[in-house]
Homo-oligomer: A and B are copies of this chain.
Amino acid sequence: MRTSIATVSLSGSLTEKLTAAARAGFDGVEIFENDLLASPLAPREIRARCADLGLGIDLYQPMRDIEALPAGEFARALRRARHKFEVMRGLGADTVLVCSGVSPRAVDDDALAAAQLSRLADLAQDFGIRVAYEALAWGRHVSTYDHAWRIVEAAGHPALGTCLDSFHILSRSRGPEDLDGIGDIPGEKIFFLQLADAPLPGMDVLQWSRHHRCFPGQGGFDVAGLLERVLRTGYGGPLSLEVFNDVVRQAGAGPTAVDARRSLLLLQEETGIEVLPAPAVPTGVAFAELVTRDAEPVTGLLTGLGFARTARHRGKPVDLWERGEARILVNTGPAAPAHPLPHGSGATPADGTALTAIGLESPDPAAAARRAEALLAPVLPRRRAAEDVPLDAVAAPDGTELFLCATDRPRLPDWRADFQDAPGQHPAAPDRPAAFRIDHVALTQPWHRFDEAVLFHRGVLGLDAQESVDVADPYGLLRSRAVTSADGRVRFPLTVGAAPGDDTAQARHIALATDDVVADARRLTRAGGRLLPIPANYYDDLAARFEFADGELETYRDLGILYDRDAHGAFRHCYTHTVGRVFFELVQRDDGYRGYGAANAPVRLAAQHTARWATAG
Contact = CB atoms under 8 A, between A and B. Distances in A.
A4 B241 CA distance: 6
Contacts of A264: 3, 195
Contacts of A242: 5-6, 8-9, 30, 165, 167, 194-196
Contacts of A245: 9
A176 interface: yes
User: Which of A196, A222, A470 is most buried by chain B, counting CB atoms within 10 A of its CB?
Assistant: A196
A3 B197 CA distance: 46
Interface stretch (A249-257, A281-289, A322-330, A480-488): A249-257
Taking residues whose C-beta sits less than 8 angstroms from the other chain, chain A's interface range is: 35 or more
A16 B1 CA distance: 58
Interface string A469-502: 0101001110000000000000000000011110
Contacts of A206: 137-138
Interface stretch (A74-82, A227-235, A555-563): A227-235
Contacts of A222: 170, 176
Contact of A194 (B11, B186, B240): B240
A244 B8 CA distance: 7
A338 interface: no
A196 B264 CA distance: 10
A217 interface: yes
A115 B314 CA distance: 78
A190 B226 CA distance: 14
B240 A5 contact: yes
Given A209-B137, A241-B6, A230 B198 contact: no
A26 interface: yes
A477 B210 CA distance: 11
Contact of A20 (B11, B214, B253): B253
A166 B258 CA distance: 21
Interface of A: 1-6, 8-12, 16-17, 19-21, 23-28, 30, 58-59, 137-138, 164-172, 176, 179, 182-183, 185-188, 190-201, 203-206, 208-223, 225-227, 229-230, 232-246, 248-254, 256-258, 260-261, 264, 267-268, 273, 376, 470, 472, 475-477, 498-501
Contacts of A196: 213-216, 223, 241-244
B10 A257 contact: yes
Contact of A499 (B201, B237, B499): B499
Contact of A58 (B5, B187, B240, B253): B240
A244 B218 CA distance: 27
B200 A203 contact: no
Contacts of A236: 1, 187-188
Contacts of A233: 182-183, 185-187, 190
B187 A215 contact: no
Given A24-B376, A166-B226, A4 B256 contact: no
Given A4-B241, A183-B233, A239-B195, A23 B254 contact: yes
B2 A257 contact: no
A28 B249 CA distance: 20
B137 A257 contact: no
B223 A171 contact: no
Contacts of A232: 182-183
16 contacts: A3-B240, A5-B241, A10-B256, A11-B248, A11-B249, A12-B253, A23-B257, A58-B240, A170-B221, A187-B235, A193-B227, A195-B264, A196-B213, A196-B216, A196-B244, A250-B475
The 7 closest A-B CB pairs, nearest first, are A187-B234, A197-B219, A24-B257, A4-B240, A20-B253, A200-B220, A20-B257
Contacts of A258: 23-24
A235 B477 contact: no
Nearest to A215: B197
A195 to B, nearest CB: 5
A30 to B, nearest CB: 6
A197 to B, nearest CB: 3
B167 A28 contact: no
A241 to B, nearest CB: 5
Contacts of A6: 240-243
B238 A1 contact: yes
Given A1-B273, A2-B237, A20-B252, 17 more contacts: A1-B268, A3-B264, A4-B238, A4-B240, A5-B241, A8-B242, A20-B253, A21-B257, A171-B209, A185-B233, A187-B230, A191-B237, A194-B241, A196-B241, A196-B243, A198-B219, A499-B499
